[in-house]
Structure 1
């Protein structure tokens, strides 16, 4: 049946998997998921452990193997996770969408990448690191700094809720280099570049997206773009899904 919604596709499509980054959980995708589901897309939004790069990638890969084929979407830290070689090794992923997200190359770590260009406000005075039982640490943004650094264009009440419900990341994960060829070298990719981002500055987002050959969409938004501009984010994901469906249909013809 032909759909007329601009977010939808005419052909058999992949499941859209929305992966959250550090300092948030899957709820960051609520607005995006609602729009995609209303357009008839199949959507999943798993939670990441946020303990280490390899562990997050292995956890996600196990989810993907049960869902494929997949259009895989990552926000922020999740960009590093979906770039991991373990993701490509599943054979389940048809396309990647990076939403204000890291796109590391082999041997690069997310933390060092974010220091390559000036502008990030993910700096020590804005962060809290707390030891956890059993070893390791939890890293979060100071709640009073969350809105300015992460969600400056989100409604203040909503930003305040995000600030007090952060999901912490193990800071050592940000220093872990990508252990092999990134998935984006062999898969088509899209990138949403947020021009008002104070967490991952626009310069590093553009650098990574251009290097990866991603199809770039720039939007005047903060790092919390899935929350503040779910319409644009959903539209980019739908475009990727339509492209995958068109390729699949051509191969079957």
Structure 2
């Protein structure tokens, strides 16, 4: 039995991991999905990692799954506790010393996003609604639940924190992308994974939150990674 540690992204709580957590528990695993201090203006990246490490306690056989902004926290956790596997799920991949606030420019996100939007016929400057941008492959019921009850105010504090590691932690790492994500276009995310980690990522169906739209397939992908260790 493994312990899956699920790290959520910005401006949200851990609720959105629920369908995936149910799939993993159904396979006999323990699941930890702590809420991060998104609303705390004094909480930097270290405090986000502290929250995850505290939730882990003395558990072992850890598989850490970091999603979106959780990509800045997941490797920090791996540097502090023994982890068997880190999965970067449609996650931001940081570089040493880079702040989350600077990540958008240093990675070339803006140009990549404009090109992806152009290819799907979105006029430049269009502000898309959250369902169209993030949740188009999620059921209307789950999308409404997330947007109505589980969006959180996001403090600015962690976005000015330089990522503190000198190098990627020595932990087996996989990168899994959502092929249909319109917010983090898959071509951009693939390039980043290759450039920064030397990893050719895998793809699965889904929007920005594949744990809501495709929890069974996501569980199967995670289990396959774990079995291959």
TM-score, length basis structure 2:
0.80
Does residue 33 of structure 2 align to residue 33 of structure 1?
Answer: no
The secondary structure found in structure 1 opposite 2:96 is coil
The secondary structure found in structure 2 opposite 1:66 is coil
Partner of 1:217: 202
Among 180, 183, 187, the alignment partner of 2:165 is 180
Shift of 1:33: 1.1
* Equivalent residues of 2:78, 2:169 under 8 A apart: no
* Equivalent residues of 1:78, 1:101 under 8 A apart: yes
Question: How far, CA to CA, are the matches of 2:20 and 2:14 in structure 1?
Answer: 11
Does residue 113 of structure 2 align to residue 119 of structure 1?
Answer: yes
Question: How far, CA to CA, are the matches of 1:90 and 1:191 in structure 2?
Answer: 20
* Equivalent residues of 1:114, 1:204 under 8 A apart: no
* Equivalent residues of 1:190, 1:236 under 8 A apart: no
Question: How far, CA to CA, are the matches of 1:90 and 1:69 in structure 2?
Answer: 14
* Equivalent residues of 1:65, 1:90 under 8 A apart: no
Question: How far, CA to CA, are the matches of 2:48 and 2:155 in structure 1?
Answer: 11
Aligned CA-pair RMSD? 2.5
Partner of 2:131: 147
* Equivalent residues of 1:32, 1:231 under 8 A apart: yes
* Equivalent residues of 2:69, 2:92 under 8 A apart: yes
Partner of 1:61: 53
Shift of 1:61: 2.1
Give unpaired runs (5+ residues) of structure 2. 118-124
TM-score, length basis structure 1:
0.73
Partner of 2:92: 102
Once the two structures are superposed, the pairs formed by residues 171-250 of structure 1 within 5 Å of their partners are 171-182=156-167, 184-210=168-194, 211-214=196-199, 216-244=201-229
Question: How far, CA to CA, are the matches of 1:236 and 1:20 in structure 2?
Answer: 18
Partner of 2:121: none
Partner of 1:81: 73
CA 1:175–1:233 in 2, change beyond 3 Å: closer, same or farther?
Answer: farther
Shift of 1:125: 8.8
* Equivalent residues of 2:135, 2:208 under 8 A apart: yes
Give unpaired runs (5+ residues) of structure 1. 1-12, 127-143, 245-253
Moved over 3 A (4+): none
The secondary structure found in structure 2 opposite 1:114 is helix
The secondary structure found in structure 1 opposite 2:35 is coil
Number of residue equivalences: 210
Partner of 1:162: 146
Question: How far, CA to CA, are the matches of 1:61 and 1:204 in structure 2?
Answer: 30
Question: How far, CA to CA, are the matches of 2:28 and 2:71 in structure 1?
Answer: 25
Shift of 1:104: 0.7
